[in-house]
Amino acid sequence: MNIIYKYNNENVDFNEVRNILIKAFGGRRIDEKEKIEKAFINSSHVIYAYDDSKLIGFARAISDIEWAIIYNVALDPNYQSKGLGKEILNRLVKSLGNRHIFTYTHPRTISYYEHLGFKRSKMAFKYVKYIEKEIIDKQEKTGFFLPNGYRFENEIKEVIKKEKINRIKKIDYKNDLNDISYDDLNELLEKAFNHKRDINKTIEEFRSSQYFNFAFDGSKLVGCARLITDGVSEALLLNVAVDPDYQGNGIAKKIISNLAEEAKGYDIFIHANPNSYSFYNSSTDFKRYKTAFAYISDTEPDNNDFFIPKGYRYPDEFYNEEIKYYKGKILN
């Protein structure tokens, strides 16, 4: 073998890309060649592996300057068990630099991603309101999602009663950047997430997004969120923020609903902050992933609020009818 790696879409035969996807993901629906080509071209990072001139594998990611999510990690079955899938993924991760990197996978390949340095996430959700029930039911049976309302041990806490929230009579919503004050936007994000931000980063992130929604109380910016997408089927939901003085008024739910309505047809993924898990966990519009991962470097400390210990398996992962068998052990 003479393996060559390429990091751009120049002269790629997307019929061959589709053929490998069909062979690698047998049984799953694969888009037509035109949609696949558009998704790869719109991705911020791509990698292709060739054996001389023969395409044998690839992967892609969508990202902004801080966040990224990986899709379509695929290898020709004739080249599996040679370490090439690992090399493709490692090279893609390296090209993404210091971004926060996420992905989700089939239950069969959980151990594979753990082996590559990814950690299973507790905080990943999928927006399902506009996805066909048959598709979600199939994914649930296959083992992609936790039961509705599932909580981990560290999330089972005494409910603390908060002071009564002042209900806001009228909130206005806007879906473009025209006349948005970036100073106000940056201040809102700092207040919502309780840490300082570089305003230049805020400007770049929102300008590089394809969809956004903002909430106003009169002229005051009180909420925001945005989506980055591949222009075809995949989207990453980011910066869902509401001024703490306005929380409890359904603003975040409305912002997300506005975005999802505008971006119908996309699979919307979010990796939430542990402080906001109950918002997503209690919503019928979201399903909590069992098979989502974040890439964690060796130098980063474990965080039990975000991640599951390596090797942990849910009870149904010992034997699952949809995937026939899955090896694993439950940790006490």
The ranges assigned to domains in the chain are 1-98, 153-283
Tell me the average confidence (pLDDT) per consecutive run of 10 residues in the chain, 332 residues long. Answer: 94 95 81 94 97 96 97 93 93 95 92 90 95 92 91 70 62 94 97 94 96 96 97 96 93 97 95 90 94 81 80 78 45 34
pLDDT reported for residue 139: 92
Q: What's the fold here for domain 1-98? A: Aminopeptidase (3.40.630)
At 18-61, the pLDDT tens digits run 999 999 887 677 789 999 999 999 999 999 999 999 999 999 99
Q: What is residue 157's predicted lDDT score, i.e. its pLDDT?
A: 66
Query: Taking the model in full, what pTM does it have?
Result: 0.90
Residues 120 and 114 sit within 8 Å (Cβ to Cβ): yes
Residues 6+ apart with CB under 8 A from 245: 222
Task: Say how many CA atoms lie within 13 Å of 178 toward its Cβ.
Answer: 3
- Give, in order, the Cα–Cα distances in Å from 55 to each of 12, 60, 61: 9, 15, 18
Torsion angles phi and psi, residue 218, rounded to 5 = 65, -120
| pLDDT at site 155 | 82
Give the end-to-end CA distance of the chain in Å, rounded to a whole number.
Answer: 45
Domain 153-283 in the same topology as domain 1-98: yes
* pLDDT tens column, 79-93: 988 999 999 999 999
Residues 259/266, Cβ–Cβ less than 8 Å: no
CATH class of 153-283: alpha beta
Check: CB of residue 46 under 8 Å from CB of residue 9.
yes
Token couple for 44: 């911020």
Strand partners, 237: 227
Q: In what order do the strands lie in the sheet with 286-288?
A: 172-174, 211-217, 220-229, 234-242, 267-271, 124-127, 286-288
For the four alpha carbons of 189, 193, 196 and 202, in that order, the dihedral sign comes to: negative
pLDDT at site 163: 57
